[in-house]
Amino acid sequence: MPPLPRLANFLPTLLVPVLVVISARAEEPNIAARLQPFVDSHTLAGAVTLVASADRTLSLDAVGYADVAARTPMKTDCLFWIASMSKPMTAAALMMLVDEGKVKLDDPVEKYLPEFRGQMVVAEQAPDRVVLKKPAHPITVREVLSHTSGIPFMSRVQHKIDSFPLDHSAITYALTPLKFEPGSKYDYSNAGINTAGRIIEVVSGMPYEDFVEKRLFQPLGMKDTTFWPSDEQMTRLAKSYRPDAAKTGLQEINIDQLSYPLTNRKRGPCPAGGYFATASDVALFGRLILGGGVFEGKRLLSESSVRELTSTQTGALLNGGKGEGGYGLGFSTSRKSPGESGPAVPGRCGHGGAYATDLAIDPQRHIVTVFMVQHAGYPGPDGGKVHPTFLKAAEAAFSK
C-alpha cells in the first residue's frame, strides 16, 4: 500500500495520465535506498523505514530481503517482532486507567495485586546464603514502569518470555525477592512492565491483550499488532538473522526469546516484549505520542499522561547524573519535563527492540521515525552505521 502522502497526491488526479503520478512519486526521497550499500555488503538483510509527522506518513520504503536465502524482497507491510518496543504501548495503556482515576502512579503495586504483599528485598548475598529483609517501602506502579522497582529481568522459573499466562507470571514475580531497595537503582526489567500489564487486567476486568486492542490499537487503526501472528501474517514475517561464525555474513535464526509455533495462542502474552507489528502500525502509535495524546482529532491520552510517559523519571540513576538521558514510564527519554505546564513530549524519546527495531519521537524536528529490521547483531565493521544512516537521511529530508 502506498504511504499516505503519495495516496493524497494521487486521489485528486485520477484522470491525469499515469506519468504525472510517477513523477510525483519520484520527487519523494527514498530513505531506505541509503541502506542499500549495507545490503550489498551482506551487513543488513533488509529493512522497512518510515517517517511520519503527527498528522500523516511522510515516507515508507523497504530495502533488501525479508528472506535472504529465498531472495524474497522486503515489503513495506512485512511483519516484525518488535520486542521491547511493546513497553511504551503497555505503559500508554496503563496511563489510560490513570486518566480515568482508576490507578495512581505512586500507589503500591500490592494495592492492585495482593500477591505482592510481603515481598522482600535481598539484604546480603553470598554463594551459600541469601539474607532477606523487608524493603523500606513496597514497590509502586511508577517504579515498575521506570525499571526502578528492584524486580529482576524475569523470574527464575521463566525460560521464555511467553512461558506463562500473565496472572501466573505476576505470581512468580511477587515470590521473587527484590534485587535492591525500590527506587534506589535502575535495572531493566521485563518483569516490571509485565507486572504493569497484569495491573491493567485486574483494574479493567479484561485480559490485557483485549484491553490494549480495544482502547489503543483499534482507535489508532493498528490492525497488524498482535502477540500471535495469524497464518496470513506469518507469510509476511521477516526472517531473523545474526552474524555467522566468521562474522562476515548472516545466519538465519529463530527468535530465541519466544516459543514456537508463533501462531500458538497458548503462548503467554508478554506486555514487555511480545508484540509483532508492521512499521505502519508502530508509526500510528508514535503519532499519538508526538500529538500529545491526540490522534486525528481524538484525544486518547491526557497531555499530563504523555508528559509522565516521556519525561525522565530516573533522575541521577542513569548516566551518572550527567545530562538528562534516562528512562520515563515505558519510554527511553532524553530530557526532563520543565513541569506540569511544559510540553507533553519534552525531548526525543522512544524505544528499541532486541532485534534492532527502533521507534523514535522527536518533538524538536516534529517527526516520528520507525526502523524495522530483524537482526540480533550485525556482521562486519559497518553494523553500527546502519541505523544512524537511516536517522540522518530521515532528519535531512523531513526536519522542520
CATH number at residue 117: 3.40.710.10
Return the pLDDT at 28: 56
For residue 120, tell me if it sits in a domain: yes
Q: CA 75 to CA 63: how far, in whole Å? A: 8
DSSP 178: B
| pLDDT confidence band for 61 (50 / 70 / 90) | very high
Residues 261 and 322 in one domain: yes
CB–CB of 338/312 below 8 Å?
no
- When divided into structural domains, the chain yields a total of 2
Phi–psi pair at 370, nearest 5 degrees = -130, 130
Residues 54 and 96 in one domain: no
Q: CA 169 to CA 269: how far, in whole Å? A: 10
Tell me the DSSP string of 68-126: TTTTEEP-TT-BEE-GGGHHHHHHHHHHHHHHTTS--TTSBGGGT-GGGTT--EEEEEE
Instruction: Tell me which residue range forms the domain holding 183.
Output: 90-208
For residue 195, tell me if it sits in a domain: yes
For residue 237, tell me if it sits in a domain: yes
Please tell me the least confidently modeled range out of 35-49, 171-185, 324-338. Answer: 324-338
The mean pLDDT value for 258-270 works out to: 97
Q: What is the pLDDT of residues 129-160, one digit of tens each?
A: 999 999 999 999 999 999 999 999 999 999 99
Residues 163 and 245 in one domain: no
CB–CB of 263/228 below 8 Å?
yes
CB–CB of 16/208 below 8 Å?
no
The mean pLDDT value for 198-206 works out to: 98
- Mapped onto helix, strand or coil, the DSSP state of residue 372 is strand
Residue corresponding to grid cell 527514498: 30
Return the pLDDT at 16: 33
Residue 350: is its pLDDT beyond 70? yes
Among residues 208, 238, 255, the one where a domain terminates is 208
Percent of the chain exceeding pLDDT 70 equals: 92
For residue 216, tell me if it sits in a domain: no
Among residues 154, 178, 208, the one where a domain terminates is 208
CB–CB of 315/326 below 8 Å?
yes
pLDDT mean across residues, the chain: 91
Residue 175: is its pLDDT beyond 50? yes
pTM for this predicted structure: 0.91
Residues 243 and 174 in one domain: no
Terminal CA-CA length for the chain:
26
H or E segment and range at residue 128: none
Q: What is the pLDDT of residues 4-47, one digit of tens each?
A: 333 333 333 333 333 222 222 334 578 888 999 999 999 999 99
For residue 215, tell me if it sits in a domain: no
Beta-carbon count within 10 A of 90 CB = 27
Q: Most confidently modeled of 313-327, 328-342, 380-394? A: 380-394
Residue corresponding to grid cell 524482497: 73
Q: CA 123 to CA 130: how far, in whole Å? A: 8
Residues 274 and 306 in one domain: yes
CB–CB of 329/140 below 8 Å?
no
